[in-house]
Amino acid sequence: MKKKHGKLYLVMQFAMILLFALFLRKFVLTPVEVVGSSMEPTYHESDRLWQTSLIKPKRFDTATFPSPRDGKRIVKRIVGMPGDTIRMENDQLYINDKKYAEPYLDEFKAALEDDMPLTTDFTLANSAAGPATVVPDGKYFVLGDNRRKADDSRYFGFVDEENIIGVVYFRYYPLNKIGVQ
């Protein structure tokens, strides 16, 4: 004979499932909506992303953190890690005096209709991160992919490691761009 579970058992099961779902949403995968055009062409206004705080940020990851301007959550690309020197010269990124390709910008650069670089020349010392010449321990140097319009470390300085909310893991909207980032 099949044993029937009481209403209390069902309520407890539902509560456990709900707590597990809330835990996942808070600590494992958190939704983020892209605001603005500073990360184009990678992300566009109203794109929906999942971020996770379980992944330690690496170079060229896209990460979220509170804007130093207004505290709202923003998405930028981590370019400089602690100990790095960063400079941009003739639209070419140099990290520790080594050239780095930025393939995520190729399509955007090709579509530019003027002869101006996507990214103007800079060094850490002549950015808002200055007078530092090296990314300090516990800090990151971030750039928006739409370098002409992005408010990023060139203008607000370094981002503290403890302020990184999460690393973008997955895009779930728009549907034609779903995928692991």
Q: Average of pLDDT values for 65-78?
A: 96
pTM, two decimal places: 0.86
Catalytic residue among 2, 67, 76, 99: 76
Q: Where are the beta strands (DSSP E) in the chain?
A: 30-33, 48-52, 62-66, 73-80, 86-89, 92-95, 98-100, 122-123, 139-143, 159-160, 166-173, 179-180
The yes-or-no verdict on residue 3 having pLDDT over 70 is: no
Return the pLDDT at 177: 92
Q: Which CATH number does the domain 28-180 belong to among 3.40.1260.10, 3.40.50.2000, 2.10.109.10, 3.40.120.10?
A: 2.10.109.10
Return the pLDDT at 25: 73
Mean pLDDT of the residues in the chain: 91
Q: Identify which of 93, 98, 96 has the alpha carbon closest to the alpha carbon of residue 77.
A: 93
Q: Could you tell me the pLDDT band of residue 159, with boundaries at 50, 70 and 90?
A: very high
Higher pLDDT, 1 or 96: 96
Catalytic residue among 2, 38, 72, 127: 38
Lowest mean pLDDT, pick from 13-17, 66-70, 96-100: 13-17
Residues 6 or more apart in contact with residue 118 via CB below 8 angstroms:
91, 105, 108, 109, 112, 147, 148
The yes-or-no verdict on residue 1 having pLDDT over 70 is: no
Lowest mean pLDDT, pick from 48-52, 74-78, 109-113: 109-113
Catalytic, 76? Answer yes
Catalytic, 109? Answer no
The yes-or-no verdict on residue 2 having pLDDT over 60 is: no
Return the pLDDT at 11: 85
Return the pLDDT at 26: 74
